[in-house]
């Protein structure tokens, strides 16, 4: 069973006529955008706000009307994937490099829905490398700082061995934390490091998680 497709298509059912919808990024969000595109073709009127160049290309090709986050008053629902979700619903995102735009869009959304297969649910987050988006200037110093703190940092690279650049033109440093016992303290520290633009800790921000497993779809209402 394709669990990403299952949850992506289920999430698209939450969207109603006239809504402004935040469109997430990644291989799970892909199926939600495809399903929404099909509904738009059948006459649903929505406005999409994309979280990456990749999703923008997909949504445009499907004929979903789009506006930028700065052109809308508010976003009704954002549907996005996640890399890890803890038992207290704290998340790591940014495996696909879209964390900055995703966090901005989530921040201005009335409701945030994450769609995942059950392999993403963990007790404590941190096994998945935590992405930290940094400006290139001074990034070597940040790498050193993260190393001194034992975070085993590495600049993200493309398949061609080039340094990965985000849609906003920044680098990503992935931290191999293994376990993040206190995500709020770490988020607070990262928020205060000069040169860090954003990080992949998405804390206290999800309203609903749609989980796919071999047993089917489960909707977990968080807040
Ligand atoms: O930057 C990418 C996003 O945060 C994705 O939502 C996350 O990486 C999950 O992606 P996927 O659905 O491909 O596992």
pLDDT tens sequence across 65-108: 999 999 999 999 999 999 999 999 999 999 999 999 999 999 99
Q: Residue 164 C-alpha to ligand 1 middle, in angstroms?
A: 16
With a 6 A CB cut-off, is 99 part of the ligand 1 pocket?
yes
Find out whether 187 and 193 touch, Cβ atoms under 8 Å: no
Of these residues, 102, 124, 159, 218, which one is catalytic? 102
Percentage of the residues of the chain whose pLDDT score is greater than 70? 100
With a 6 A CB cut-off, is 83 part of the ligand 1 pocket?
yes
Residues 14 and 99 in one domain: yes
Q: What is the pLDDT of residue 169?
A: 98
Mean pLDDT of 40-45: 98
Q: What is the pLDDT of residue 54?
A: 98
Indicate the Cα dihedral angle 15, 86, 196, 111, nearest 10°: 20
Residues 84 and 37 in one domain: yes
Mean pLDDT of 23-32: 98
Residues 109 and 213 in one domain: yes
Q: What is the pLDDT of residue 179?
A: 94
Q: Residue 81 C-alpha to ligand 1 middle, in angstroms?
A: 5
Q: What are 138's two structure tokens?
A: 């001074």
Q: What is the pLDDT of residue 22?
A: 98
Tell me how far apart the alpha carbons of residues 143 and 138 are, in angstroms, rounded to a whole number: 9
With a 6 A CB cut-off, is 96 part of the ligand 1 pocket?
yes
For every residue of 154-208, DSSP letters joined together read EE-B-TTSPBP--TTS-EEEEE--S--S-HHHHHHHHHTSTTEEEESEE-S--SE
Q: Whose CA is nearest to atom 10 of ligand 1?
A: 26
Q: Which atom of ligand 1 lies nearest, measured to the CA of 200?
A: 4
149-203 pLDDT per residue, tens = 999 999 999 999 999 999 999 999 999 999 999 999 999 999 999 999 999 999 9
Q: What is the pLDDT of residue 1?
A: 87
Percentage of the residues of the chain whose pLDDT score is greater than 90? 100
What is the 8-class DSSP label of residue 129?
A: P
Q: Residue 73 C-alpha to ligand 1 middle, in angstroms?
A: 26
With a 6 A CB cut-off, is 28 part of the ligand 1 pocket?
yes
Tell me how far apart the alpha carbons of residues 101 and 130 are, in angstroms, rounded to a whole number: 16
Q: What is the pLDDT of residue 132?
A: 98
184-196 pLDDT per residue, tens = 999 999 999 999 9
Question: What is the rounded average pLDDT for all residues in the chain?
Answer: 98
Residues 59 and 159 in one domain: no
Indicate the length of the chain as a whole number.
223
How many domains, the chain? 2
Indicate the Cα dihedral angle 13, 19, 22, 28, nearest 10°: 10
Q: Whose CA is nearest to atom 6 of ligand 1?
A: 81
CATH number of the structural domain spanning residue 162 = 3.30.70.260
Residues 20 and 109 in one domain: yes
Specify the residue for token string 């738009």: 40
Indicate the Cα dihedral angle 168, 169, 171, 174, nearest 10°: 30
With a 6 A CB cut-off, is 131 part of the ligand 1 pocket?
no
ipTM of the complex, rounded to two decimals: 0.98
Those residues whose C-beta lies under 8 Å from the C-beta of residue 108, and which sit 6 or more positions away, are 69, 74, 75
Residues 145 and 212 in one domain: no
CATH number of the structural domain spanning residue 36 = 3.40.50.1360
| Paired strand residues for 208 | 113, 221
Is 13 an annotated catalytic residue? no
Domain span at 50: 3-122+203-221
207-221 pLDDT per residue, tens = 999 999 999 999 999
Residues 109 and 173 in one domain: no
Residues 106 and 193 in one domain: no
Asked whether residue 82 is marked as a ligand-binding residue, the answer is yes
């Amino acid at each position: 069973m394709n669990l990403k497709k299952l949850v992506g298509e289920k999430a698209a059912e939450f969207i109603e006529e006239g809504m402004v919808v935040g469109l997430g990024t990644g291989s799970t969000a892909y199926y939600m955008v495809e399903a929404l595109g099909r509904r738009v073709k059948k006459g649903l009127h929505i406005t999409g706000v994309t979280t990456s160049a990749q999703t923008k290309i997909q949504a445009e090709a499907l004929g979903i009307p789009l506006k930028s986050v700065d052109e809308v008053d508010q976003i009704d629902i954002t549907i996005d994937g996640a890399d890890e979700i803890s038992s207290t619903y704290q998340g790591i995102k940014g495996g696909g490099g879209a964390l900055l735009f995703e966090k901005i869009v989530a921040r201005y959304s009335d409701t945030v829905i994450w769609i995942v297969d059950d392999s993403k649910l963990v007790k404590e987050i941190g096994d998945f490398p935590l992405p930290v988006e940094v400006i290139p200037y001074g990034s070597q110093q940040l790498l050193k700082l993260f190393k001194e703190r034992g975070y085993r940092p590495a600049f993200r690279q493309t398949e061609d061995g080039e340094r990965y650049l985000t849609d906003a033109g920044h680098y990503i440093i992935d931290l191999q934390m293994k376990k993040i016992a206190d995500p709020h303290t770490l988020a607070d520290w990262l928020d205060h490091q000069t040169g860090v633009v954003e990080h992949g800790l998405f804390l206290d921000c999800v309203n609903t998680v749609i989980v796919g497993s071999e047993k089917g779809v489960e909707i977990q209402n968080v807040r």
